[in-house]
Structure 1
Amino acid sequence: MTLAMNAQEVMDYMAEVFPQVRDDFAIDRLEETSLTMRLLTDERHLRPGGTVSGPSMFALADCAVYAMVLARVGRKALAVTTSCSVDFMRKPEAGRDVVAECRLLKLGRSLAVGDVLMFSEGRPEPVARATMTYSIPPAR
């Protein structure tokens, strides 16, 4: 197993195809079957009460698995989420980034499955867990 793209190449490509979120995420670590990505939490990610919103955490999980798939298969912008399950377990702490630990569980020709645990930066208890399935477009 090898990576088709490194962390900077993945982030550059995501900024190219999804410029609307270019300032929201950063990859801290990338390996062949796992990555650590963070949501660079800002006021726009908060819900009433000052905690990170569920849609923002969903976006982090979705982007983490997308980045992991891109890192393995290369520039395939049309890889799409086909299934998602998210368990929200605790409120993320205000003023901290949310950090996603993503593991690629399966990478086939047409489907990829990833698991994501999300944490408030510096805290050991997960705030959410997600399982995502991606459809990978066929090679042409």
Structure 2
Amino acid sequence: MTDELTIGTLAATTGVHLETVRYYERIGLLPPPTRSPSGHRRYDAEAVRRLTFVRRCRDLGFPIDSIRAMLTLVDRRQVTCREMQGIAARHLAEVREKLADLRQLEQDLDRLIGTCSGTDTPDCPIIDALMAEPG
């Protein structure tokens, strides 16, 4: 495959929205594509591989800066398994921290909901708790 994919075909092949492809180009995750004589973007197999990598990273919740760091290592051909593992391990730690925060949020909401009788009275302990002064 040599510079034969349009942006629409690239987007469909990789499962990425067309505007997202343009966004990734603007922020430098995808290099500028070659252009046809009429000015249309043309992509090759490497663009498919790179965009698939970015999409999968995003699916796993990696932030753009981490993806950029990984791609920089790949582009410089200096990538090691240890470095990639480190980036992934840091992200996993962040995910676990978010999960702990969400578990706490779940408990707080469950406790708050438990204070409410669920009747049609205008007095609601949920409203009272949410409007209460901090402290």
TM over 0.5: no
Q: Which has the higher strand share?
A: 1
TM-score by length of 1: 0.25
| Larger CA Rg, structure 1 vs 2 | 2
TM-score by length of 2: 0.26
